[in-house]
Structure 1
Amino acid sequence: MLPALRRARIIELLQRDGAAGLKEMSQALGVSVSTLRRDVDYLCEQNYLERTYGGALLTNRLSGRELEREIASEVESVAKGVIGQRAADLIQPGQTVILDSGTSTAAAARIARERGVAFTAITNDFTIAAILSESPAITVLVTGGVVRAGTSTLLGIDTLHYIRRLRADLAFVGTHALSEGEMSDTSIELAEVKRAIIAAADRPVLLADSSKIFSRTFCSFGRITDMHHLITDSRLPADRLVVLERNGLRVDVVPVGADGA
């Protein structure tokens, strides 16, 4: 079990019981006392818990809902990392790959940089371009366009003109929401760029952590059948996976429960 997931379980146990001993919690989570102790020490350093004799209890620093939100954010970060790793596995030497803006695509960029595979990357995101440019093996091209306020994302007519001239082997596309049949995002400009990226790639791959699945925003940028496949994490409920596959989307589910101790 990954550290973030173990810590979330520790919080759940203490929200239920108020306080618990290390041995009791280690048995409940199926991990060693030494592993459990490291997690408790970390949560104490973050002021989530207070140590007691042989155990721990919750502090009053955050409400239960705020705590759940912070832990969920940590778990989602882990999920994006494993999704990015699986995406990077798809990149072959000599390929041309388009990387859409987003946190999951940025995670894929970091893994690709570390592996040193030689390929050509095209992106509409300055952060992703900076990550990839650290590898001498990767040729990085940045689209034109207007910087979206408060982000490192390029949008607009120049971005679209650039992408529409391309032909890529592979594309990694992020999404704000994914319903039973379509993908959507929060602005018309974002949706237009994503639509262009999908059209430019032989294999457009959707990267979305499970928290985004079966939600919807108002700007659709395509049907799920427009994608080669989806990469998501194993927190996706089985019934939702069945619906997506029944509607024609191939889904690659990446485990997030491997032991991270």
Structure 2
Amino acid sequence: MQSAARRRALLEQLRATGYVATGGLARQFGVDGSTIRRDLAHLERAGLIRRTRGGLLPAEPAAAIDVPYDVRRTADLAEKAAIAEAAADLVENGQSVILDSGSTAYQLALALRRQKKAIFVVTNDLMIAVCLANDPTIRVHVTGGSPIDTAYTLVGPSTVTELEGLHADWAFLGAEAVHHEAGITNINMVELPVKRAMVNAAERVAVIAASPRFGKRALAPVCSLDAISLFITDDGIADDERAHYGSRLRTVPIATRHAETPAEG
């Protein structure tokens, strides 16, 4: 295989899976290690890949780079806390739950901890794992994977493999954007295989997202609306958006947009 074809095949693999381990690439393409290193250096200089420890991530356009976790965690906090309480009410004692990564899912972890239900939680979010680790009523399993640079999210083939072997009662999925035609879409492509595996592993899937996320489209598709059992958001969602989701839409009131929200400890 010529270098151009090899690099093109590597990019196609990376875009399809969101993460590629570098360890077996030379064997996969039938070349020596120095050849693969030159390929990777070429793709990195071209701005097409990002190297991480032991693997590769897609290099996304600057406009599509995910917002750092510390910034997202404090945005729309009242809305996220209210959404989280409504989502936690759906979970029954003894059930198994998959929690997606992100700030709204973190608020859901706090709500579940307050409700003191005996449940089993699987997550790829390290902050959620820390939040729930010392709760005697909640059993926590953290997936394998490699952390994303700007977040505390684990991604990669091992994350997907673990999720594919599960069957949970609920999956609570965060969303960068929700659109009645485009479905659930996401900014960060490396998360796509993980989110899809979460959807497939659960009996019921609920999207938990603040109202500004609705009616928007992001870079890459996660799944269609048909895969979602419930959409939980705040009552700020526009009237013309509500009709698209029918009985699957649940909105929670926000008494004031400036009220104090539950403490995060």
Cα root mean square deviation, aligned: 1.8
C-alpha offsets along residues 183-216 of structure 1, whole Å, 9 cap, x if unaligned?
1001222111111100000011100100111111
Aligned-partner Cα distance in 2 for 1:218–1:74? 23
Q: Give the residue type in structure 2 aligned to 1:197.
A: M
Contact 1:113–1:134 (CA under 8 A) maintained in structure 2: no
**Which residue pairs with 2:46 in the alignment?**
none
Residue aligned with 2:91, SS:
coil
**Number of positions where the alignment pairs a residue of Structure 1 with one of Structure 2:** 186
Q: Does residue 167 in structure 1 map to residue 173 in structure 2?
A: no
1:226 aligned residue: 227
The one-letter amino acid paired with 1:151 is A
For residues 29-70 of structure 1, the C-alpha deviation after alignment (integer angstroms, 9 at most, x for no partner) is xxxxxxxxxxxxxxxxxxxxxxxxxxxxxxxxxxxxxxxxxx
Corresponding residue for 1:70? none
2:79 aligned partner, one-letter code: A
CA distance, structure 2, for counterparts of residue 200 and residue 223 of structure 1: 16
2:128 aligned with 1:109, yes or no?
Answer: no
The code of the aligned residue for 1:102 comes to G
Structure 1 stretches lacking a partner, 5+ long: 1-72
- In structure 2, what is the equivalent of residue 217 of structure 1? 218
For residues 159 and 212 of structure 2, the distance between their equivalents in structure 1, rounded to whole angstroms, comes to: 29
User: How far off its partner does 1:256 sit?
Assistant: 0.7
With over 3 angstroms needed to count, the CA separation of the structure-2 counterparts of 1:180 and 1:143, relative to structure 1, is same
Counterpart Cα distance in 1 of 2:194 and 2:91: 22
User: How far off its partner does 1:141 sit?
Assistant: 0.1
Give the 3-state SS of the residue equivalent to 1:243 in structure 2.
Answer: coil
Give 5+ residue unaligned stretches, structure 2.
1-72, 261-265
The answer on 1:79 being equivalent to 2:73 is: no
Residue 250 (structure 1) aligns with? 248
TM-score normalised to structure 1 length: 0.68
Task: Say if 1:163 and 1:196, in contact at 8 Å, map to a contact too.
Answer: yes
Once residues 119 and 74 of structure 1 are traced to their aligned partners in structure 2, the CA distance between those partners, rounded to angstroms, is: 27
Question: Per the alignment, in what secondary structure is the counterpart of residue 88 of structure 1?
Answer: helix
Could you tell me how far apart the structure 1 residues matched to 2:97 and 2:198 are?
Answer: 10
User: Structure 2: how far apart are the matches of 1:244 and 1:97?
Assistant: 23
- List per-residue Cα deviations over 1:115-155 (Å, max 9, x = no partner): 21111000000000111113111000000001111211000
Supply the distance in 2 between the matched residues of 1:220 and 1:81 (Cα, whole angstroms).
26
Aligned to 2:146: 146
Residue 193 (structure 1) aligned with residue 194 (structure 2) = yes
Give deviations 1:194-239, integer Å, cap 9, x for gaps.
Answer: 1110000001110010011111112101011110110000000111
Q: Does the 8 A contact of 1:198 with 1:204 survive in 2?
A: yes
CA deviations on 1:144-180 (whole Å, 9 max, x unpaired) are 0011112110001010000000000011000101111
Give, in angstroms, the shift of residue 74 of structure 1. 7.1
Q: How does 1:9-24 map to 2 (within 5 A)?
A: none
Q: CA deviation at 1:89?
A: 0.7
Which range is displaced more, 160-169 or 183-192? 183-192
| Structure 1 residue ranges (4+ consecutive) displaced by more than 4 angstroms after TM superposition | 258-261
Correspondence 1:122-141 to 2 at 5 A: 122-141=122-141
State the match for 1:54 in structure 2: none
1:75 Cα offset (Å): 7.5
| Cα gap change, 1:121 to 1:216, in 2 (>3 Å) | same
Give the equivalent residue in structure 2 for 1:204.
205
Counterpart of 1:183, as a letter, is: I
In the alignment, which residue of structure 1 is the partner of 2:121?
A: 121
Displacement after TM superposition at 1:76 (Å): 1.6
Distance change >3 Å, CA 239–CA 163, structure 1 → 2: same
